[in-house]
Amino acid sequence: MRFGTVTLLHGLFLGPMAGYTDYAMRTVCREWGAEYLTGEMISAKAVCFGDSKTKALARIRTEELPCAIQIFGHEPAVMAEAARRLSCGVEGGVAPTAIDINMGCPVHKIAGSGDGSALMRDPRLVERIVAAVKEAVRLPVTVKIRAGWDANTVNAPEVARAAEAGGADMICVHGRTRSQKYAGKADYRVIAAVKRAVAVPVVGNGDVTSAEAARRLLDETGCDGIMVGRAAVGNPFLFSEIAAMLDGKEPPVITSGLRLETALRHLRLAVEDKGETTAVLECRKLLGAYFAGYRGGSAARAALNRAATAAEAEEILRGVFSTPAAEE
């Protein structure tokens, strides 16, 4: 798969997820086969105001490339200025591979302000935003959209054409509407319709929870790439399983030892990036996902939620992975 200057062997993308896809998660997913990363979404207004927390979210290391920065907002001039400022990278980091525009976030505080998936309701504004960002940077500009606002306004092909008219280099489609949020099933027919509607590469997203699901997405949509989101939380191994399937090879055997080793690496990367106190607090929900299905998992998750140090979290992880995997 190719877009801009990016070439990907398998077209495997880690989807941007607020509160999840930080440096630690991105790195672990890259090590297990994610070829293209995207950071947590960033407020364009916050960038323009010089917010220090936003700068931390935007920091990309060399070893993460290719990695995009995703911005959200609805004012073309503000989006363009934010993209311009981020296009060269922030202090302590490198320039991103691309600027991605969030047109899919369904949460009320984002969509209710006219950002994220609210943009699906105004294709003309979509075109203006993409055009403004495209003019402001020399990087590829990509967009992430949903099927539509609700079941009565499934307009992803129209929005995709508007984004392409504005100069978008790639379009990612989540096969759910904004009203669905993350419930129900992703509609792959919508992704297929977007693929037919535009000439730029299309990446499919939604319900990719296994290599078999990834194959179904490709077969039913003809899309150029696969984006994995929530299914990668605690399971970065999914990328290597999909790659093996695409290569016609046997998937890797993921043992309890590998799960423990990867969870510990995730924790240590987070501590390195954010300091122990913040890392342990923010990693609780991510680390618990590594031992889903393990006997004693509920008690271990409760213990993790009380952990205050990395040593405590590590001890809990070692304890739960010392037992055989079994449904609780």
pLDDT tens, the chain, 328 aa long: 999 889 999 999 999 999 999 999 999 999 999 999 999 999 999 999 988 888 889 999 999 999 999 999 999 999 999 999 999 999 999 999 999 999 999 999 999 999 999 999 999 999 999 999 999 999 999 999 999 999 999 999 999 999 999 999 999 999 999 999 999 999 999 999 999 999 999 999 999 999 999 999 999 999 999 999 999 999 999 999 999 999 999 999 999 999 999 999 999 999 999 999 999 999 999 999 999 989 889 999 999 999 999 999 999 999 999 876 544 4
- DSSP helix/strand/coil, 237: helix
Q: pTM for this structure?
A: 0.96
CATH 1.10.1200 domain span(s) along the chain:
256-320
Residues of the chain with CATH 3.20.20.70: 2-247
Point out the catalytic residue in the list 105, 172, 223, 283: 105
Measured between alpha carbons, how far is 172 from 223 in angstroms, rounded to an integer? Answer: 9
- Could you tell me the two tokens for 128? 């203006």
CATH architecture for segment(s) 2-247: Alpha-Beta Barrel (3.20)
29 catalytic, yes or no? no
Domain made up of 256-320: CATH architecture:
Orthogonal Bundle (1.10)
Query: For residue 282, which amino acid is it?
Result: E
Task: Give the strand pairing for 141-148 and 99-103.
Answer: parallel
